[in-house]
Structure 1
Amino acid sequence: MALDPTAPLGLRERKKRAARRAMSEAALKLAAEKGVEQVRVEDIANAVGVSPRTFNNYFSSKEEAICSFIVERQEQVLEALRDRPPEEPLWEAVSAATLETYGRDGEPNRDTVKIARSMILHPSVHGEFLKAHATVERVLAEGILERAGAGPENALNARLMAAIVESAVKTAFFNWLMNEGTEPFLETVSVLLREAAAGIPSLTGPEPVKKPKKQ
């Protein structure tokens, strides 16, 4: 019997998510306090009262745990998308679910800019950061396809739409990070999604140079 993708999460899955979230939050906290290089898997496991072996059942490395919040946030976007009215146009539903999810915690605190930059730009963490974004793009594409209906053409368009949304979020985040938090993250995401919906009119390029007619 096929599982209903819209069914509520079972108790076991909720517990697994809670454990994963606790370890991810501990990894982030320890990395912020001690620096990424000084954090060990044992430290993260001890912080939440589990064994290193249990930690390794959830994450392959401390860097993956640090970046796990990215994947969890996208799972929340997927849940928000499933809750959107069924008659709502697809792009509007995806945009609304994205903004709703990222807006729950409000604008990122500017005090976290220095910590976020030092962690995200750390060579080993940056690689996991990009891998996490690739994962959430796939998760969102599956959610879009679930709403749009299966089919070869829909599958291709779902991946494209997910890539556009994820690029908007990632671009807004790095814009916020590199500008010391002075550029509002949520507003930038909203603007980028609106421009994408309108065909990104700002990317018009220079006027073509007219070649002189041959005499």
Structure 2
Amino acid sequence: MRRVLVSLAATAAVSVIGTGQAVAAQAAPAARATGQAMAAGPAALPKGFLLEEDKVNGPRRPWEHLKLTDSLKKPLEVNPCDRRTARDGRSASRTFTYVAETVYRSEQVVLYPSERAARAAMQSVRADLDKCGTGGRGPNRYSYKWKSTDIGDEALRVGGFFFENSSRSVIVRKGSAVAVYVRTGVVTKSLPVSQFRPLIKDARTMATKLCDLPGVCRR
């Protein structure tokens, strides 16, 4: 599922063909290979765990669309190969999305049964960025740039460049969990940290918070 933010109408109505993001299906074999650690991770995310979660039931304007889902099939929000279904052996997942006119914002936390499985998920993201980092023609063209970022155990900041818009993403792994933060907005191809500060701040906060969950971080 690429479902990228490829085209926004001149009227400022958002056309969310997708988030331009997610985890590769190839992570599944690696995840299955970690049977010896499958029971290590927590089975569920506590209610209210996401930083943005309480906004779902708060006030909103008619043009604002907020959604919260615990679907295990929803791919990671960094998804350059447009994979439609996650098959990475995750044990829990929660995704918050916000869409309003030209704005797309999301927060996602995924728990894996082992650190090895979470590492495999991050490796799949890198592989997908290499494989599907550019493509399309005309209004469907897109490209991605990415750099390593000093958060958690490993992290990337990713810029997505589409026909009429762009997106900024930060994906971080901490122990056996992965968190993703996405926002539309101006980003240049050098990916300066200054353009990612709000996302980096949230990712750093969540990386610390994840260690409060049993089995996520090594003690």
Q: Could you tell me the TM-score, scaled by structure 2's length?
A: 0.29
Higher relative strand content: 2
- Higher gyration radius (CA): 1
Higher relative helix content: 1
Q: Could you tell me the TM-score, scaled by structure 1's length?
A: 0.29
